[in-house]
Each structure stands twice: as C-alpha cells, then as structure tokens.
Amino acid sequence: MIFFITTSCMILGLIIALSYLRFRIDKQDKTRSYASWLVHKTKLVFKISTWVNIKKTYNSWKTHHYSGYKKWIFIGSTLSYLVLFISGFLFSALGLIRLQGVPLLIHVSFGGIFASCAALTLLFRSGDYQFESSPFIISGLFWLFVLSVFILVLTAITMMLPFVSLLWIQTAFIFHRYSAIISVISISLLIFFTLKKSDNK
Ligand code: HEM
C-alpha cells in the first residue's frame, strides 16, 4: 500500500512540477491561467502531431548523439527502460499485486537488455556529463540516474541469487522499488532540463 501511495504521489508530483515549470517558461501563452493552459496541453496529448513531434525529437537526439551502430544502444536503452517502467509500476501501482508470471519474465528479460545498453551508454556518453563541461543541474540529474540504475541492477541480481537469505531478498526488493522511483524522477527532470537547454539555444 505504501508503494502504491508513493508511486501515485511520484507520478502526480512529476506531472504537476514539470507542467508548471513548462507553463512558467512558455512565452506564447502568457494570457492563459495555469489551469486553462494545462487543459489546452492535455488536449494536445491526444493529437497525432504531438506524437510526430516527440518522434522527431527522439530521432534528432539519436542521430546527433548516437551515430552508426550506437543508435541501437540508444534504441535498446530507451525502449527497454519503457518496458521496465510499465511492467514494474503497472502491477504494483495500479493492480496492487506483485509483479509475477509472464510480466515478471518480460521485466527480467528487458532488464538484461537495459543493463547492457546502460553500461554502453555510460561508456560512450559519460564524458558529456562532466560537471566541468555541462550545467550542474543536467550533470547532477544524469549521475543521479546512473546511481539509481546501478542500484536497480545490483538489487535485481541480488533478488535472483539462490544463496541469498530471504531478509536480503526482501531488503533488495524495497531498494529496487524505491530506486526505480528515483530513476523515473531523475530521467524525467533530465529530459525536461535538456529540452529547455536546447530551446534556449
Ligand atoms: C536493470 C534491470 C532490471 C532487472 C533485472 C529487474 C528485475 C526485477 C525483479 C526480479 C523484480 C522482483 C520481482 C519480485 O520478486 O516480485 C523487480 C521488481 C520491480 N522492478 Fe525491476 N528490474 C530491473 C530494472 C527496473 C527498472 C529500470 C524499473 C523502473 C523504471 C524497475 C521497476 C520495478 C518495480 C516497480 C518492481 C516492483 C514490482 C512489484 O511491486 O511487484 N525495474 N524487478
């Protein structure tokens, strides 16, 4: 129950925080109140053009930062993270049941893909997120995401080791759940501030 409440607060808090930040920097709609701006933007979510723009942004980021075979690392890490997010949170957050059976199998399989792609991404991209060469908020969020992914992988492995005591598995499970929440918050804010930085260029 606590995880259900925490996850719901996380998702709601992120939507309110990021939408309000976006509303504050949105120069076009200065006449609107936050509430009518939010209704207007929510309607846009159901428009095809919005998803076409998201795909364009995704592809331009991929082309710019992941040339040649590296594009598969970007595709692998982003799509597997999405599957892990949906499979991990759907059951525990909405269904109030533990992740199990086929969904757990999907979760663990994509977990392997994600862990490998995340390691390669760190190899190729960590240089761009040094505190000396990039804004503090962006580097800070990037390394917070890396730390949460490291704990996610470590706890996932711990949960699957046969010789580990039940107490360790239960502790690892709790750490896994809450580092999943930290990974979602940090990556959402990282995407937000990265897009804001490229908007300001
Ligand atoms: C890195 C690779 C990953 C592996 C191998 C992995 C594996 C697992 C395993 C084995 C469980 C425990 C299932 C159980 O005992 O009930 C689990 C639970 C969970 N995972 Fe992951 N996971 C990974 C990454 C992630 C990521 C990136 C997220 C979120 C963005 C995530 C979110 C969750 C959540 C929310 C649960 C709890 C589900 C519940 O409450 O029943 N996992 N994961």
Residue with CA closest to ligand 1 atom 40: 92
> Averaged over 20-26, what is the pLDDT?
82
3-state secondary structure of 28: coil
Nearest CA to ligand 1 atom 18: 88
> Separation of 64 CA from ligand 1 center, angstroms?
31
* Confidence check: pLDDT of 28 > 80: no
Contacts 24+ apart (CB under 8 A), 14-19: 14/184, 14/185, 14/188, 18/188, 18/189, 18/192
Q: How far is the CA of 178 from the centre of ligand 1 (A)?
A: 10
Structure tokens given for 147:
């730390």
pLDDT category of residue 56 using cuts at 50, 70 and 90:
very high
By the 8 A CB rule, do 23 and 38 touch? yes
* Residue 35 DSSP symbol: H
- For ligand 1, atom 41: residue with the closest CA: 98
pTM recorded for the entire structure = 0.90
First to last CA, the chain: 44
Is the per-residue pLDDT at 92 higher than 70?
A: no
Q: Does residue 102 surpass a pLDDT of 70?
A: yes
Residue type at 149 in one-letter notation = V
183: Cβ below 6 Å to ligand 1?
yes
pLDDT at residue 201, rounded to an integer: 66
Q: Could you give the CA distance from residue 91 to residue 157 in angstroms, rounded to a whole number? A: 21
The whole-number pLDDT of residue 63 equals: 92
Average pLDDT over residues 75-104: 84
Ligand 1 center from residue 176 Cα (angstroms): 6
